[in-house]
Structure formats: C-alpha cells, structure tokens
C-alpha cells in the first residue's frame, strides 16, 4: 500500500475501485477549501485529501480480513447474548 496527498476540483469518492484495472484508491480526510485564482480573482472549491493505493490483491485480502473479523465479532456477540 502506498500513500500520498491529492487535490481535486470535485469531491472524491471514498473508494474508487473502477477507474483502474490494477489499483484501488481509498480517499480519506477530505477537506474542502476555497482557492482564489491570482490572475482572474475567481474563487473555486478545492478538495484536498489523503489517498491510499492498494493493488487488487492487497485490497481483496484486506476485505477478506475485515469480513472474518466481522464474523468473529458477530459470533462473540451471539455467544454472550448481546
């Protein structure tokens, strides 16, 4: 997994698993701000955020691990009567 900071003029999807056949992008900590163009004086909205890049294999393994944890937590809850 790799991380970097990014910026966009449109709100990023939380998880983008369709734009690349090899990579899943997880966008976190999105901050909306205004930017003034020094040449024109026009204001525009900018979104700054952290991006985590996962290979398809890494992403599938992470999702499987999350499903296993969720199942184990559900089993513990069922056994304890919660």
pLDDT truncated to tens, each residue of the chain (82 aa)? 899 999 999 999 999 999 999 999 999 999 999 999 999 999 999 999 999 999 999 999 999 999 999 999 999 989 887 6
Q: pTM to 2 decimals? A: 0.79
Predicted local distance difference test score (pLDDT) of residue 81 = 76
Predicted local distance difference test score (pLDDT) of residue 7 = 96
* Torsion, Cα of 61, 63, 69, 70 (10° steps): -160
Predicted local distance difference test score (pLDDT) of residue 82 = 63
Phi, psi (deg, nearest 5) at residue 16: -115, 100
Q: What is the DSSP letter of 38?
A: T
- E strand or H helix at 65: helix 56-80
Predicted local distance difference test score (pLDDT) of residue 13 = 96
């Amino acid at each position: 997994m790799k991380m970097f900071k990014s910026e966009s003029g449109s709100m990023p999807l939380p998880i983008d698993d369709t734009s690349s056949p090899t990579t899943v992008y997880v966008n976190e900590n999105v901050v909306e701000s205004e930017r003034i163009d020094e040449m024109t004086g026009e204001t525009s909205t900018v979104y700054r955020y952290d991006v985590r890049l996962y290979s398809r294999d890494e992403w599938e393994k992470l999702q499987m691990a999350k499903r296993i944890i969720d199942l184990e937590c559900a089993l513990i809850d069922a056994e304890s009567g919660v």
